[in-house]
Amino acid sequence: MRRDIFQAIADPTRRGIIALIAAQSMTPNAIAAHFDTTRQAVSKHLRILSECELIDQQQKGREIYYQLKIDKIKEIDHWLEQFRKLWENRFENLDTYLASIQKNKN
């Protein structure tokens, strides 16, 4: 089953995992140590992140290291950009309106 990227980032634990491995590759045990949950729960979150293609795994000896796929995060940023522009435009309109009110007061 193909999951949606936004499903992955909807969960706070998965967002935490993304933040952790954005800085450096980590093993599942190292990731699990940062959360008050079971190793199995962290594995489930890692599986979902993998299914969404947000993380890669790399075998180094006997250990598996997870790392963030930056290009997938950029997809989220591109989607959010449309809303960023919308809100910037609204704030500019509000600034103009407030300036006109201030001008009319004086």
Q: What is the mean pLDDT of residues 55-81?
A: 92
Q: What is the mean pLDDT of residues 13-19?
A: 96
Q: How far apart are CA 40 and CA 81, in angstroms?
A: 35
What is the longest distance spanned by two Cα atoms in the chain?
74
CA angle 75, 54, 52 (to 5 degrees): 90
Q: How far apart are CA 18 and CA 8, in angstroms?
A: 10
The residue extents of the domains of the chain are 1-68, 70-106
40: pLDDT strictly greater than 90: yes
Structure tokens at 39: 């190793």
- pLDDT cut 90: percent of the chain above it: 58
On the CB side of 15, how many CA atoms lie within 13 Å of its CA? Answer: 7
Q: How far apart are CA 65 and CA 31, in angstroms?
A: 10
Q: With bands split at pLDDT 50, 70 and 90, how would you rate the model's confidence at 106? A: confident
On whether the 1-68 domain is CATH 1.10.10.10, my answer is: yes
Confidence (pTM): 0.75
